[in-house]
Structure 1
Amino acid sequence: MAHCNTVLNQVVGFFKRHEFESIARKHHVGHKFRSFNRWSQFMAMMVCQLSGRKSLRDVVENLKAQGHKLYHLGMKKVSRSTLARVNDGQPAALYKELFHKMLQRCQTVAPRNRFKLAEKVYLLDASIINLCLAAFPWATYRQNKGAIKLHIGLDADGYLPEFIDVTEGKKHEMSWARMLKLPKGSLAVFDKGFTDYEWWQELTTNGIFFVTRLKDNALVEYFKKRPGRKAKGVVLDQEIRLKGMKDKLRLVQFIADDGNEYRFVTNAHHLQAATVADLYKERWKIELFFKWIKQNLKIKTFLGTSENAVLTQIWVALCVYLVLAYLAFLSTIGASMQQILRLLQLNLFEQRDLESLFKPPKIEASPQLVLL
C-alpha cells in the first residue's frame, strides 16, 4: 500500500504555506515568536473546528495525544497559555485576509450560472450570534445581552460567502448594505429588513438589479399591467412607483403551492414573473447557510473572551467552510459538506488517502452456490 500522510495534512494542503507566511508577517504585532508561530495557531484552531473541541485545554490535549503525527504539519509545540495569548493579542485580520485569498481559489472550482441568467445572483442577510455580556463586555447589544452580527452576501452559484463582515450586534443590516460594492449588472435578493427606497434607487441608478418583498404599508402608485400570459402562481405583474423613488419598479404577486400569497418588488423588468418568484425562494438558502455554520462549526461558543479571540475563531471557522466547500465541489460522488465534515472528524489523524475517504466502500460479490 502506498504511504499516505494524515487526512489533516492533506486537508491543509488547500492553504499554501508560503502565502500564509507572507500574510502572517504583514499582520504580526510585538516581538518575534521564540518557540511558536501563527501557522501553529492556525493548525490548532483548524483542529478545534474540524474535531469539535470545546476548550483550549481540550484542543491542546488532543494535539498532544497526536504528537507523533504532527511533525509533517510544520507545527510548533502548543501550550494552552501560549494559544490563549496569541488568540488574544495577534490580529485576527490575518485570517480575514487568508479567507478572501482562499475564496478566490474556491471560486475557480465552484458551479457557475446555476440560474442560467446573465446576472450574478447574491443573497444578502445577517444573523445574530448571542454572547454573555458578563463574559464579553465589549459586545453590548441590549441592556442585559451581548451579541455580534454576521453580515453575509452569498454567491448563489456555489453558496460561497463573497461579501462578509462581523460587527457589533446593534449594527443594522442597511448600514452594512450601503457600504457593499456589488458589481454592476449583478442581482441582489434580500428580505424586508433591507427596505430602504433611497438605497433601492441607488442600486437602480448603478445598474444593479434586486428582488425583495414589499411591505404591507408601502405607498404605491400603480401603472399598467404587463402584457402576456401569466405563469402558474402569478396573479399580478404590474408597473409601480414607490413614494420617494424616481424610477418605476415592478410588482409581482404570487401564490405559492401552500396557498400563501407574496408580493415581490423588483427593478428587473426583463425577467419573467415566475423567475422573480423563484429568485426570492432561493433566498432561503442563506438562512440554511447560517443554520449550517452554527450547527456544524464552532461559532456559538468561544475559546477566548476578547474581541480579537472571537474574531479569530470566526474567521478560521469560515476558512474551514471554504475547505469543506472546495472538497464538496471536487467530490466525484456528490458528497455533501455535512458528510465530508463527519468523515473528516472520524479520520482526521488517520493515514488515509483523502480521495478514497469519500468513496463508498466496495462491496465484494458473495460466492455463488453451484448446484451439481
Structure 2
Amino acid sequence: ETRDFRIYQDFGHILIACQLYQDEDIGLDIKQAVYALDSTTIDLCLSTFPWAKFRRTKAAIKLHTLLNLCGPIPVFVVMTTGKTHDITIMDTIPVTADSIYTMDRVYLAFERLYRIHLTSAFFVIRAKSNMRFRRLYSNPVDKTTGIQADQTIILTGIESKMAYPEPLRRVRYYDTEKKKRLIFLTNHFGIPAKTVADIYRSRWQVELFFKWVKQHLRIKSFYGTSPNAVKTQIWIALSIYLLVAIVKKRLNLSGSLHTILQILEVNLFDKKPIFKVVSDALKHESHDYECDQLNLFD
C-alpha cells in the first residue's frame, strides 16, 4: 500500500528494454517488426475500489499494452481506469519507423493513423462498415487464399478525407475457419494482400497474453485497494512474465512460459541453477509421458 509502484514500473521498463526476441521469426514473410495494440479490462468491486468507478454499479481498470509479436513481449504498458477510451492511448504509444502496428477497429481514428503514416511506420486495422471511400484501382487477387479484393482507395467522408488525405489500401478477406468476411485498411503497399490478413490474425497473440497473465499471475484479485497497490501488483506480475521470457530465451529452454513458471514456483527455494532445475523437470515430465504411452499398449 505504501511502497511507490514506480519502483516496480521502472524495473519492468528495464526488462522491456532487453530486446532478446527482436530477431525471432513470427511466421510472417516480412523482416519488419510487428506490434499489436490492445487493452483488457479487469473488473473490480465498486465499494472496495471507488477510485476506479466504471459504470453505475461497477469498477474496473484497463491494461493497455503494445505487444512485440516476437516473443511475444510487451514493449509499452499503461494502466488507466475503465472509463478511459482506447483511442486516446494511441497518442502515447512509441512509434518506430518501418515497423508495423496492428489493431482492432476500436482504434480507427484517421488523424491518429495518419500520424503513424507520417512517422514512416505502417498499420493494419479493421475497417468499419460505414466508412465512405472511392476506389482508385483494383489489384488482381488469388481467391484461393481467401483474398476477395485488394484495392487502392481514398476516403470521401468530410472529416475522414481531411484527417487522412492520402491513398489507403483496402483488403477484403474471407476467413474460412470462422466463416467471416473481414476488411482491412493499411498504408503498406509493399506486401502481399494475404500477408496483410496474416498480420491482423497475429494480433490475437496480445489477447492470449492478457489471458495468460490473468490466469497465471493472479491479477484477478488484489492484496491492496489503493491505486498504488493495484499498480504495484500488476507491475510485479508483468515483471515475472518478462523475467521468465528472458530466462527462456537466454537458456534456450524448450518448455512454454506457463510450464517454466510452474516449475520455478515449485522449486522456488532450491539452491540450484535455473537451467538445471527447468531442464531436469522437463526431462522428468517427458519421461513420465513416455512411460504412460508404453503402459497404455502393454
Q: Deviations over 1:297-340 (max 9, x none)?
A: 02111111111111111111111011111122235451101101
**Partner letter of residue 138 of structure 2?**
K
CA shift, 1:112, in A, is 2.9
The 2-side partners of 1:151 and 1:109 are apart by 21
Q: Deviations over 1:284-304 (max 9, x none)?
A: 110100000000002111111
Structure 1 partner of 2:133: 220
The 1-side partners of 2:278 and 2:66 are apart by 30
**Partner letter of residue 20 of structure 2?**
T
Structure 1 partner of 2:248: 328
Unaligned 5+ segments in structure 1 are 1-87, 364-372
Structure 1 partner of 2:172: 253
CA shift, 1:118, in A, is 3.6
Matched, 1:125 2:44: no
Unaligned 5+ segments in structure 2 are 288-298
Q: Is the 8 A contact 1:110 1:326 kept in 2?
A: no
State which of 298, 305, 317 in structure 1 corresponds to 2:218.
298
The 2-side partners of 1:293 and 1:126 are apart by 13
Alignment of 1:150-189 (within 5 A): 150-189=63-102
Alignment of 1:1-372 (within 5 A): 88-105=1-18, 107-108=19-20, 111-114=23-26, 115-227=28-140, 232-242=145-155, 243=157, 244=160, 245-258=164-177, 259-359=179-279, 360-361=283-284
CA shift, 1:117, in A, is 2.2
Q: Is the 8 A contact 2:127 2:183 kept in 1?
A: yes
CA shift, 1:108, in A, is 2.9
Q: Deviations over 1:68-118 (max 9, x none)?
A: xxxxxxxxxxxxxxxxxxxx222111111111112223x235653533524
For normalisation by structure 2, the TM-score amounts to 0.87
Q: 1:331 to 1:230 in 2, by over 3 A?
A: farther
Q: Is the 8 A contact 1:231 1:273 kept in 2?
A: no
The 1-side partners of 2:63 and 2:32 are apart by 25
The 2-side partners of 1:234 and 1:109 are apart by 31
Q: Is the 8 A contact 2:264 2:278 kept in 1?
A: no
Secondary structure at the residue paired with 1:325?
A: helix
Q: Is the 8 A contact 2:95 2:119 kept in 1?
A: no
Q: Is the 8 A contact 1:299 1:317 kept in 2?
A: yes
The 1-side partners of 2:267 and 2:92 are apart by 42
Q: Which has the larger radius of gyration?
A: 1
Q: Is the 8 A contact 2:62 2:79 kept in 1?
A: yes
The 2-side partners of 1:333 and 1:194 are apart by 36
Between Structure 1 and Structure 2, how many residues are aligned?
A: 277
For the aligned residue pairs, the C-alpha RMSD in angstroms reads 2.0
Q: Deviations over 1:140-172 (max 9, x none)?
A: 111111111100000011111101101111111
Q: Deviations over 1:215-263 (max 9, x none)?
A: 1111121121024656611111011122322011111111122232111
The 2-side partners of 1:284 and 1:333 are apart by 24
Q: 1:228 to 1:287 in 2, by over 3 A?
A: closer
What percent of counterpart residues are identical? 34
The 2-side partners of 1:228 and 1:260 are apart by 18
Instruction: Pick 1 or 2: higher relative contact order, CA cutoff 8 A, min separation 6.
Output: 1
